[in-house]
Each structure stands twice: as structure tokens, then as C-alpha cells.
A and B are shown apart, each in its own frame.
Chain A
Amino acid sequence: MRTVLKLATLLILATAAGLAHSADNRRHFDRDAGHYVEVSVADPYLELRTGPGRGYPVFRVIARGERVEILFRRTDWFKVRDEHDTEGWANVGNMRETLLASGAKLPLEDLSHRDFDNQPWELGALSGNFGGGNVNTAYLGYSLNENLSTEFAVSQTLGHASNSTMLTLGLTHSPRPDWRVAPFLDLGTGVVRIQPKATIIAPPDRTQQIAFYGAGAKWYLTRRFILRADYRHYVIFTKLDSNEDRNEWKAGFAFFF
């Protein structure tokens, strides 16, 4: 317990150091020229909020024609600095109406649809039932085009009689990626390592090849955020006369980037 106290003290010290650091973090607008992307306001005005959220108050309004530096972006908010060294948060909708030095609009993605060319990756976590046991899955997907994507998944099944770890690689086909609830079919193969629990007379661990097909749907709930549910039918290729079948149902969340 003493080490916890020591470490907690260390964390608090780091926090204090961070506070001290943040005090002299301001740098001059022109001194950083070239380091950050600079844009000029093309809307009648650009609102700066105190935080990256719709509830934070607007504390400054930048007039049309004035320049701001974009320090970084977090979700749909941009931390910007104006010519008077004031820093604040501007929304992506506002920033779309700003101009680069070349006179072109700041190129930002369309929020209404997923742009599969610029946001091909998808990362998600699902949980559900695999052949009677609980299953946790994490997956990484990569879109080849709007309809086809590949998915690599790692699953851990925690059952009463055995635990298993599964690695799968699949191909997912989504006929209507533009729908808000987009159905998909998938197909793939992988390996499963089944570890029987020690309480039963323990047969050795087995690693076997599997293949699966399935169907599901992705619900594009808000920008970048997906709720997903799917069903898969697995065939485990055993060394015995007949193969084993497993059904899997799972649901979870994912996001793309």
C-alpha cells in the first residue's frame, strides 16, 4: 500500500508540473509562422469557445478576414490561436468556411457520410455468445472499397467447460454502405486454440483450423461511431470423422478513422 501512496504522490507531482508548464505554454502568433496551418476567416465571424464541446461558452469572436493558426484537432474541434495570441476552440462546421493562404477552402471531410477513401480503418469491440460460452472480440477492419473490407479479429471465449482463443481473417461485403443501418455478409477463416478447464479430466490443448460465414448490421449512430451486431456460423475442422459446428451471436461498438 506504501508503493501506491508513493506512486500516487508521483502522479500528483506530475500533474503539478503539468500545471506549471501550461502557464508558460503561450507563444507568439507570428513567431510560429510556418509551423502551423494558417487560415483566414471567410464566414462573417468565427466563434471561439473555451472548450471542445457545444456547451462551452463562446468567449471570443474573430471577424471575417482575420487570420488564425490551427494548433491541433480533437474530434470535431480545432484548437486555434488568433493574431492576438488568444487560444480557443472552433467547431469543424465553422472551420470549413475558412480559407488557406492560397485562397482555397480548408479541405475537411464531409460529416454526413463515411469517406471510405480517407477513413478506411475500423476498430471495434464486441461481446456475446459463442457456442454457449461468453465471447469477447476486438477487431480491426480495413476497407478495400465502399463495399468490401477485410477484418482481422481476436476473440476470447470463456465457457464453463473450456476457454478458447481465436484468430480470424475475413472478408466483409456491405451491399448498401450508404444506409444508416448497413447490412453486411462475411466469410473467413482462422485458427482456434481450445483449452479445456482443469476441473475436468484435462485433454491437451488443441489448435484447429476454422472457417465461418455470417451476417450482421452496422448502425452508423453518430459521426465515426458505429453500433454493430452480427451472427456467425463456424465450422471447426477436427481430426475426427465429423466437423464441429458453433454458432456465435455478438454485439458491440466500433469507430472508424
Chain B
Amino acid sequence: MESRIRVLFLIACALALSGCSLWPFHHRKHAEEPVPVEATAADGAAPAVVDPTVRRRKIKTPHIKQSNFEIGPYVGTFSVEDFGVNPVYGARLDYHISEDFFAEALLGRTNAGLTSYERLSGGAQLLTNSQRVLTYYELAFGYNLFPGEIFIGHRSFNSSLYVTGGFGGTHFAGDDRFTLGVGAGYRLLLNNWLAAHVDVRDHIFDIDLLGSNKTTHNLETNLGVTVFF
């Protein structure tokens, strides 16, 4: 019964909301069509000396190529706390919102090694091989902290030192873990569409593998290239 009332309530809300959109809450700017001059002249009683056959000129909106997205792979090292440092591979997609801000989506994968305990104890294994594969995603927000130019010989290149902060998930040791990510990086624009990156990122997540729950800091360092489109 209770659910039926809820469903009815939701339907009522849906109808009310769609009704609200018709309500003139805001001042819609109706662009008033200017009265064509030719038309009024033609309607007049006085005979036209010159019969204007003015055709409405077609205005084609010029297409300007936009280049706000950036996509590319990166490789580097990933230090999984207690599990050693291992290679990491990943890809990023960035969208430049303004000259200051950008949004970033990251996807990466690494393999965790052995803990010191596993090495010293001989045979004891905390994780299976498949549980050692670590994959992560992150949705981050970046700020171009120090945009600038660098000079190589007599040529100059635009660059930016940026900071990022975001959240995501890490799949490791048989579980998905909520992850906070903070990082800093350097972007060097080689031409209009190609850039090189150096990034350092901290992935912060809780893990309860060794008995008690603890927060771990997992540092990643990588090199990447991106293409603007």
C-alpha cells in the first residue's frame, strides 16, 4: 500500500513539474521579428518608383573548429602501499572548460607485487594473482596554476603547471574501494594539437587486508602524451 501511495505521489510530482515549466517564472526574451521595410512599402497605396526585389540574404553561421578535448595514454610507476612499486598504464580524457579550469577522467591499471611479509614468510600468499591486479578510475577537476611559456633554443612553447583533485574507485584485492585523488602535473604544448605530460598523483583509499582498516597513500608518477581535438 505504502509503495502505491509513493508511486502516485511521484506521478503527481512529475505532472506538477512538467506543468511548472509552462509557468512564466522567468522573463523569456522573445526576439521580436523586425517588420521588413520592403513589405510595408509594397503595401502602401503610393506606386513605388523602384520596385525593390530584396531577397533575404542567407546567413551561414561560420564553422570554427573547436579544440577543447585532450586524450592520450600514459605510462609510469605506481606504488601500492605495502605491495611495492610496479609499472602502470593508463589513459586520460580532459575537457578544457576555460583557460583556468579543466575536467579530467582517468583510467589506469597496475599489478601489485609482494608485501615484505609474503617475501619473508616463504610461502604465505595474502592475495591471488588476479586479486593483485589493481584498476582505478578517477573523475577529477584541474586548475592551471602556473600557465606560461618555456624556451628551447630560439623557439617557445606554451606550458602549464596544474593541480588536480578528484574522486573515484579502485578495484584491488577483490574489492572496490572509494578513492580520493590529488595530483600535480606539467603540460607542455608542442604544437597546436600535441602535448606532453608529467604527472604525480596520490590515490588515497582505505584497505582492511591486514586486519585493521587503514588509510593508504599510493603514489603514481607517469609520463604521457595527449592529442587535442
- Kindly state the interface size class of chain B when it binds its partner: 35 or more
Contact A7 B75 (CB under 8 A): yes
B98 / chain A contacts, CB cutoff of 8 Å: 75-76, 222-225
| A100 proximal to B (CB < 8 A) | yes
Contact A211 B99 (CB under 8 A): no
A255-B97 contact given A74-B228, A158-B178, CB 8 Å threshold: yes
A22-B191 contact given A198-B174, A243-B2, CB 8 Å threshold: yes
- Kindly state the interface size class of chain A when it binds its partner: 35 or more
* Distance between Cα atoms of A73 and B228 in the complex (Å): 11
Contact B158 A50 (CB under 8 A): yes
B178 / chain A contacts, CB cutoff of 8 Å: 133-134, 136, 158
| A163 proximal to B (CB < 8 A) | yes
A255 / chain B contacts, CB cutoff of 8 Å: 95, 97, 103
In the complex, chain A residues 73-110 whose Cβ is within 8 Å of any chain B Cβ: 73-79, 100, 102, 104, 106-107
CB distance from A91 to the nearest CB of B (A): 9
> Chain A: interface secondary structure?
mixed
Contact A253 B75 (CB under 8 A): no
Contact A123 B103 (CB under 8 A): yes
* Distance between Cα atoms of A158 and B169 in the complex (Å): 8
* Distance between Cα atoms of A142 and B173 in the complex (Å): 38
CB distance from A144 to the nearest CB of B (A): 8
List residues of B whose CB falls within 8 A of some A CB: 2-3, 6-7, 10, 13-14, 17-18, 20-21, 23, 25-26, 28, 57, 59, 61-68, 75-77, 86-87, 89, 95-101, 103, 105, 139, 141, 144, 147-149, 152, 155-156, 158, 166-169, 174-178, 188, 190-192, 194, 196, 223-225, 228
6 contacts between A and B (CB under 8 A): A4-B87, A8-B76, A55-B147, A56-B149, A107-B61, A125-B167
List residues of A whose CB falls within 8 A of some B CB: 1, 3-4, 7-8, 11-12, 14-15, 18-19, 21-23, 25, 37, 50-56, 70-79, 100, 102, 104, 106-107, 123, 125, 127, 133-134, 136, 138, 145-148, 156, 158, 163, 171, 173, 175-178, 185, 187, 197-198, 211, 213, 222-225, 235, 237, 242-243, 252-253, 255, 257
